[in-house]
Amino acid sequence: MTREQIAAEFQRRFEGRPRFFQAPGRVNLIGEHTDYNEGFVMPFAIDRHTIVAASPRNDLKIHVHAYDLAETAVIDLADGPRLRRGTWLDYAEGSIRSVADRFNFKPSGADMLITSSVPIGAGLSSSAAIEIAVGYATLALNDIRFDQQELAFAGQMAEHEYVGTRSGIMDQFASVFGRRGTAMLLDCRSLERTYVGVTDEQTTIAVIDTKVKHNLASSEYNTRRAECEEAVKILREHHPGIGSLRDVTAEMLSRFANFLPQNVMKRSRHIVSENKRTLAAADAFMQEDFESAGKLMYESHASLRDDYEVSCDELDFLVEVASDLTGVFGSRMTGGGFGGCTVSLLRKDSVDELRDTSVKLYATKFGFEPDFYIFESADGASEILA
């Protein structure tokens, strides 16, 4: 929808003149499941956004319309919070109440219309885009000056408390701090951000959506985080300086492997090796060494498939197809796993071959076509001004 179309739809439903706020989704190039282990990630914000049109009310009620779902709800801020309904309202209410808690203010009511071009359920952080856009709108309507980093943490708080997914900080940071033309190497411990160019005039990044989301996704995400925490607890008994898997080296892991349950050992091995790969990939991208960066992407996928066990047949198939094509430097699953998307680094003159071959072979094997995207990297959240 255009800004004018959103404004017209808003004024059809609500009174008042709206302000407009946007937050992008993201693709993670490499560094998967490392963020909640205080490791390194390398996402970029994409040119698909959640847009919130909003105006203040004179009461304590939030009237919110999810345009794409054709659903409307009322959140009464005078009532206690409602958590984990299992619907889009968890993201909306969670974001409003989390920014209020984080920034210590009592929000007034508002009318909000939410619409998004970020594919839902594809592992492209449509949830973070909603959290950040709604949170930004709430802060702005209440004239709260805010630190962007705190906005990102408020979005994560909504994800943890209201949605029930114990995510790391990557998605919200990518949505807030994205920068056009770059990916962001994020140190999830220090929160230091380094912006890295990842393509040149001959290369691009393709995303293929399997259009599946297996039921294991949510429960297994939290299980993986618990397994990583178990590893830290055990390893700390032998090496007290360990604060997270970020502090564990491959040599340490080998030395203490016998103390770890098999699954915990495998999860730890992925995190330790993925941190190393992510830093190496950032260096490769900085040198425009796309062959090396692509090789690290393939290695990342193998680790996610075999050690972290969050891939699935559909993702593995698309990575295998990509690996057989000339001009594709690397490919891997991206996002939480058990469905969602692959991300591939390739030459621009190979885009048509990757699209045509992947769509055809995938449809033959699974009975339906995947979605194919070429995303541009985008700036982070902002108010959309006239």
Of the listed ranges 75-79, 165-169, 221-225, the least confidently predicted one is 165-169
> Residue with structure tokens 């449509």?
126
Render 186-215 in DSSP notation, one character per residue: EETTT--EEEE----TTEEEEEEEEEEE-T
User: What average pLDDT does the structure give for the chain?
Assistant: 96
Question: For 58-105, how does the pLDDT look when each residue is reduced to its tens digit (9 = 90+)?
Answer: 999 999 999 999 999 999 999 999 989 989 999 999 999 999 999 999
> Which domains are delineated in the chain?
3-196 (3.30.230.10), 203-374 (3.30.70.890)
Spatial separation of the C-alpha atoms in residues 168 and 271, rounded to whole Å: 13
Task: For residue 141, give every residue at least 6 positions away whose Cβ sits within 8 Å of its Cβ, in sequence order, or none.
Answer: 19, 54, 55, 56, 107, 108, 110
pLDDT at 183: 98
Q: Is the pLDDT of residue 57 over 90?
A: yes
pLDDT band at 215 (very low <50, low <70, confident <90, very high): low
Q: Is the pLDDT of residue 214 over 90?
A: no
pLDDT at 167: 84
pLDDT at 268: 98
Q: Which of 56, 52, 49, 83 is closest to 66 using CA atoms?
A: 52
Mark 118-133 as b/e (b = at least 16 C-beta within 10 Å). bbeebbbbbbbbbbbb
pLDDT at 216: 60
Residue 305 DSSP label: H
pLDDT at 35: 94
pLDDT band at 122 (very low <50, low <70, confident <90, very high): confident
Question: For 331-361, how does the pLDDT look when each residue is reduced to its tens digit (9 = 90+)?
Answer: 999 998 999 999 999 999 999 999 999 999 9
Question: For 249-296, how does the pLDDT look when each residue is reduced to its tens digit (9 = 90+)?
Answer: 999 999 999 999 999 999 999 999 999 999 999 999 999 999 999 999
Catalytic sites, residue numbers: 171
